[in-house]
Amino acid sequence: MLIFAVVSQVEEQCDSCSVNHTGQLSESFGSDLYSQMNESQTEAIRASLHKMTCDRNSHIELIWGPPGTGKTKTVSQMLFILLRMNYRTLCCAPTNVAVKEVASRVVKLVKEAYAAESEKSDPFTPLGDIILFGNKDRLKVAPDIEDIYLDYRVKRLVECFAPSNGLKHCVRSMIDLLEHGASHYHIFLENELIKTKENKDEAPKDKPKFFLEFIRAGVKAILPSLRRCLITFCTHVARSFVAKQNFENMVHLIYLLESLEKELFEKSKCLFVLKTVHSTLENLGIPAVVNEESIRELCFQMATLVFCTASTSYKLHRTNVEPLKVLVIDEAAQLKECESLIPLQLPGLKHAILVGDECQLPASVNSKISANAAFGRSLFERLSSLGQPKHLLNIQYRMHPSISCFPNSIFYTDKIMDAPEVRSKKHERCFLREKMFGPYSFINVPGGNEDGDGDDYSLRNIVEAAVVVKIVQKLYKGMSRLPTWNGSDTSLSVGVISPYAAQVALVQEKLRHKFENLDNFVVTVKSIDGYQGGEQDIVLLSTVRANNKGSIGFLSSPQRTNVALTRARYFFSYITARNFSLIFNFKYAEIEFLVPC
């Protein structure tokens, strides 16, 4: 198992594997990738995938993605390439939100690639080789990834393969109509004659149909169900499960049916393709008994890329399908080492790629005893501390240089470069007129002191909360005066962050949902831990603590402070009372470094 490779010394890649797979990797990589990614991202993907192609030895690769360096983009591109290489891959993350974000990016890449390859604008995208599974209530699957959600797919395919009204039935019905239409028409006329004789005293309601009208009406009756089943099949059945020519026949049939509805001159061509499709369905290996259990197993058999949380991956131990070869863990530094073992123990797993940043928040551990025993340490952090090489993504695309300067110096020893986009004039925004509101500002709030929220479990600072609300209101008024504001050409996202839940609740109460349901002005209030992985145009950080003891509470964690300082794109404001210099006194940093120009 791969877990033994993690514990032991992993062997270097053998030359024969590298040579054998170089052509396949280069073809899958594609020249378009270079134009979309920077050199560090491209090199991280290339180096990792070269190791994944080794058939003899197991390998663990680390990709280090500091804030704003395109970590999720890199992961999604790498998964897309593994999918094209037909490498059975499992992608895990600590949370449903993280899993959905990566899955959404991959689905978008697949749709764009298929649209570019397809000669016509097909009414579907083949996604049958991708699966997302997990708890429905917790996942809260959005429409853009609904087609890859396992429960939704099972439901659609059960309908598609139903013996009474599914795809086979619809295809047979259409073949029968087009092939034996004359006999069906004679039977229809005989029945109409019998009805006329039985109701001779009543005048006929409708004129008898001509032959072409009869056939056209029959086609029109079958067509909606047949077209729906074909689109379901092409969307939810993996192309690798069907031969390439068979899949193309399915697609061709969809367009033939559209022309058949209008003109019957395509009858012979359509009949030929229908019979070919019928033969394909008979030999496809669809379960004899069509139910949710059998279709669920079929979905796992077809899947090349599987998405789920690390904790949910235990369900894969129960599936009787071809083993997965590669494990990719996103946000790996936020996953406890013991949680990583769940997917790592899957039988047949050969390689793993861990993507994360140990300089950001680790997994939450409530017990101080467990925390002191490093229970929250991630496998990413452990391997990094043991000297495992890491592929650093070294260009950040999020923050104005004034915002990225301090975290880059303190947490990443100046290894991160600012992208040309964030250094350009376009990335400089003036949201408020006062000089104090530059890209990076400190707002000293005299007279504010922390106090308990009544339960003594969390702290809040009423004066700081009032200042935050005032700034948000000024931002809204300032943006609403812009000429393009009403046309929704200009939008603004504001993030209010605090390390204390009581302060978050207080700010939310004071705002009282005033800025909800606005498309061009969005205010999100969360704790620092809740903002990991997020970003906003403007971030206001309320530190809460203001005391004579020098206590800075949650912000004594460098990782938490790093997350707090790296969420803003254009404007970051530090709101604190009296002793804000204590916040950055990590024994190795001084507050003077942060004074804005």
**How many Cα atoms are found within 13 Å in the side-chain-facing hemisphere of 564?**
26
34 vs 376 pLDDT, higher one: 376
- 439-469 residues labelled b (16+ CB within 10 A) or e (exposed): bbbbbebeebbbeeeeeeebbbbebbbebbb
Determine the Cα angle at 155 with ends 233 and 302, to 5°.
Answer: 50
pLDDT at 567: 93
Q: Report the pLDDT value the prediction gives residue 162, as an integer from 0 to 100.
A: 93
pLDDT score for 597: 30
Question: Identity (one letter) of the amino acid at 552?
Answer: I
Q: How far apart are alpha carbons 51 and 58 in whole angstroms?
A: 8
Binned at pLDDT 50, 70 and 90, residue 582 comes out as: very low
Instruction: Give the sign of the dihedral formed by CA 114, CA 116, CA 119, CA 122.
Output: positive
Closest CA to 537 of 395, 423, 429: 429
For the whole prediction, is pTM greater than 0.95? Answer: no
Dihedral pair phi/psi, residue 450, rounded to 5°: -75, 150
In angstroms, the CA 426 to CA 443 distance is 25
Query: In this structure, what token pair is assigned to residue 500?
Result: 């204390």
Higher pLDDT, 440 or 141: 141
Contact indicator for 356, 363 with CB cutoff of 8 Å:
no
Instruction: Please determine, for residue 595, whether its predicted confidence score (pLDDT) is greater than 70.
Output: no
* Residue 371: pLDDT band with limits 50, 70, 90: confident
Question: Are 306 and 316 contacting, i.e. CB atoms less than 8 angstroms apart?
Answer: yes
Who has greater pLDDT, 15 or 293?
293
More confident residue, 22 or 319: 319
Give the model's confidence band at 561: pLDDT under 50 very low, under 70 low, under 90 confident, else very high.
Answer: confident
Name the more confident of 202 and 153.
153
Report whether pLDDT(9) > 50. Answer: no
Number of neighbours of residue 112 by Cβ within 10 angstroms:
13
Stretch 423-430: mean pLDDT: 86
Most confident of 186-200, 336-350, 503-517: 336-350
Residue 308 is predicted with a pLDDT of 97
Res 14 pLDDT > 70: no
Given a cut of 60, whether residue 220 has pLDDT beyond it is yes
- How much is the pLDDT for 533? 83
pLDDT in tens, 315-332: 998 888 889 999 999 999
In single-letter form, the type of residue at position 132 comes to L
Give the closest residue to 580 by CA, choosing from 533, 543, 530.
543
Q: How many CA atoms lie within 13 A of 137 on its CB side?
A: 0
* Three-class SS of 298-312: HHHHHCCEEEEECCH
Overall average pLDDT of the 368-386 stretch: 90
List the beta bridge partners of residue 418. 396
Q: What's the Rg (C-alpha) of the chain?
A: 30
What is the pLDDT averaged over residues 547-568?
75
- More confident: 20 or 473: 473
CA distance linking residue 436 with residue 447, whole number of Å: 20
Check whether 28 has a pLDDT greater than 80: no
Measured in residues, the chain has a length of: 597
Mean pLDDT of the region 568-578: 83
Closest by CA position to 494, among listed 516, 461, 463: 516
> How many percent of the chain have pLDDT more than 90?
49
Mean pLDDT of 418-431: 88
How many whole angstroms separate alpha carbon 438 and alpha carbon 433? Answer: 9
